Structure 1
Amino acid sequence: MPGVLERNNVKVRGAGEQPMMFAHGYGCDQNMWRFVAPAFEADFNTVLFDHVGAGGSDLSAYDKRKYSSLSAYADDVVEIGRGLGLEDAVFVGHSVSAMIGVLASQKAPGMFGKLVLIGPSARYIDDEDYVGGFSAKQIEELLEFLEANHMGWSAQMAPVIMGNPDRPELAEELTNSFCRTDPDIAKAFARVTFTSDNRKDLAGVTAPTLILQCSEDIIASQAVGDFVNRNIPKSRMIVLKATGHCPNLSAPDEVIAAMRTFV
């Protein structure tokens, strides 16, 4: 299925037989795995890709109506997996792609034998006793800011999301990644990301799951990680020393070491 592989800019590397698929977060692309994925190429067949609308994907394939929910992105993951004939693969999802992986694993039983969820959040908005980290008003203000000033939002939010203020080059990379994204797609995907609610989907995960939680993460706090851990039946959580929301960039060695205890 070359059309699928070209659409999502799929890259397959590695010498191992078992597949390991890496899925990037909002405003990013597969390049965000460059410090993590190579560590697994000796033992796994690594699969990297860009969500439609990101990186080197086919932007003409983006349709706002189609991609109005995370389910459509999960359908793409399944389509890529079927195109490559994936079975019993390890799915590694960062940020919003953690929930995309949760959905994909249920859409295609047997495709993913294990899930690694880095900085997952089942819902960003607080709801009665549930702590998501943001009020509905805060999320709406964030989205309105993005819709009014994509570049300004990127410059202001990337350092907050990345954390690690003593390493400004990390925030600069994330800012540049956000700014490279088509503004209209960035706005639409942000609304899908930050208003999604996947709490009820967690209980349907049957694959053993590892949750990697950063010790300080303004986007997905430990309370959020604890909720995901409690609600996915066969899951365990490792709290990293890493801070910020992107340990795949800021602390790749720690991410690799934690993953190796699981895969």
Structure 2
Amino acid sequence: MLFESEIIERNHVQIIGQGEQTLVLAHGFGCDQNMWRYLVPFLTQEYKIVLFDYVGSGNSLKSAYNASKYSLLEGFAQDIIDICETLALQNITLVGHSVSSIISSIAAVQRPELFTNIVMICPSPCFLNDPPDYFGGFEKEDLQELMNLMDQNYLGWANYLAPLVMGTNNSEVLTQELADSFCSTDPVIAKNFANATFFSDYRSLLPKISLPVLLLQSQQDTLASLAVGEYMQENIADCQKVVVEAHGHCLHMTHPAIVAQHIEHYLRNNHLD
């Protein structure tokens, strides 16, 4: 068992804000906790905010990286559990962006007593198409080509993927920030995380989620379509879905005020203890 100081250093844990409710913000693939800075100012007056970097991202302790552990999303979920346990956090809402919606769900299924709610921002349980009943948005061959591009031209991969994720109608500054974030991640670590993200299938996890869920998604999102959101809502027992009039996969960066408004409304009116 790691000591509290080791967990804080390993995941570069930061705690800000105040309030009886705690929001643990879990960043997406190729990102770090810095990506939450657009959303955080809207929430710090009401909530305690816990920020962290997954091992291998941001200012995390790179020496703690274990390729085997983090080849599956369960490894990242264990880090969330570690953080919540060692800090003795209570009344926790997990807020996950993209793949961290699923990572948060894994943590919540494994340790439901630790958490109160899950907020999913642009989630997908499976990015692969599985016709005729499920269309995650990508053929396996297309994703494999993307992985090959990571090996051949990492900078080109980052500059290709960033506008696809951010959405072409959004700020070029945000798109460049995302591309820079991709580039700042060690290529070997990034590829391992990418494999765990894009080639996994966690659809069977959805019915096991016992906590109430708020699902926020964009009207147009190349990585997580409206059909994916509908599938998730149908397969999660207690799921409220909100579609935001927006483009892209990073609502917390492009529309932070709207995301904060929906989170606050949900927590105030639906599932307060």
Query: Which bracket does the TM-score occupy, shorter chain normalised?
Result: over 0.9
Of the structure 1 ranges 77-86 and 142-151, higher mean CA displacement relative to structure 2 is found in 142-151
The equivalent residue for 1:26 is 29
1:212, 1:164 → 2: CA distance? 19
Q: 1:166: how far off?
A: 5.2
* Structure 1 contact 87–110 (Cα < 8 Å) conserved: no
The question of whether the paired residues in 1 share the 8 Å contact of 2:170 and 2:247 is answered with no
Q: Is the 8 A contact 2:16 2:50 kept in 1?
A: yes
Q: 1:143 aligns with which of 135, 138, 147?
A: 147
Note if 1:236 corresponds to 2:222.
Answer: no
Aligned to 1:42: 45
- Structure 2 stretches of 5 or more lacking a match? 268-273
**Corresponding residue for residue 130 of structure 2:** 127
Find the partner of 1:260 among 253, 260, 264. 264
Q: Which amino acid aligns with 2:184?
A: R
Where 1:137 maps in the other structure, the secondary structure is helix
> Shift of the alpha carbon at 1:138?
1.0
SS of structure 2 residue aligned to 1:212? strand
2:109 paired residue number: 106
SS of residue in 1 equivalent to 2:266: coil
From 162, 186, 190, the equivalent of 1:186 is: 190
Residue of structure 2 equivalent to 1:90: 93
Give 1:169's match in structure 2, choosing from 147, 168, 173. 173
Contact preservation (8 Å) 1:5, 1:83? no
The whole-number CA distance in structure 2 between the counterparts of 1:67 and 1:15 is 32
- Cα offsets for 1:146-184 (capped at 9, x unmatched): 122211100111011101445211111111111111111
String of CA shifts for 1:68-97, please: whole Å, max 9, x gaps. Answer: 100010011000110111232011000010
Contact kept? 2:55, 2:62, Cα under 8 Å: yes
Q: Is the 8 A contact 1:67 1:73 kept in 2?
A: yes
Partner of 1:202: 206
Q: Which of 224, 228, 235 is 2:228 aligned to?
A: 224
Identify which range, 39-48 or 114-123, moves more after superposition. 39-48
State the match for 1:17 in structure 2: 20
Distance 1:219 1:66, change over 3 A: same
Deviation at 1:38, TM superposition (A): 2.4
- 1:87 maps to a residue whose letter is Q
Work out the number of aligned pairs and report it: 263
After the TM superposition, which segments of 4 or more aligned residues of structure 1 sit over 6 Å from their partners?
none
Structure-1 residue corresponding to 2:251: 247
Q: CA RMSD in A?
A: 1.0
Shift of 1:49: 0.3
Contact 2:169 2:247 in 1 (8 A): no
Query: Partners of 1:262 and 1:17 in 2: how far apart?
Result: 16
Change (3 A) 1:136 1:57: same
Confirm or deny: 8 A CA contact 1:9 1:49 kept in the other structure: yes
- Give the distance between the partners of 2:22 and 2:255, measured in 1 at CA: 23
Q: Is the 8 A contact 1:8 1:51 kept in 2?
A: yes
Q: Does the 8 Å contact 1:74/1:103 carry over to 2? A: yes
Over the matched positions of the two proteins, sequence identity in percent amounts to: 41
Does 2:11 correspond to 1:8?
A: yes
> Matched residues in 1 for 2:258 and 2:186: separation?
32
SS in 1 for 2:253: helix
Separation in 1, partners of 2:197, 2:134: 18
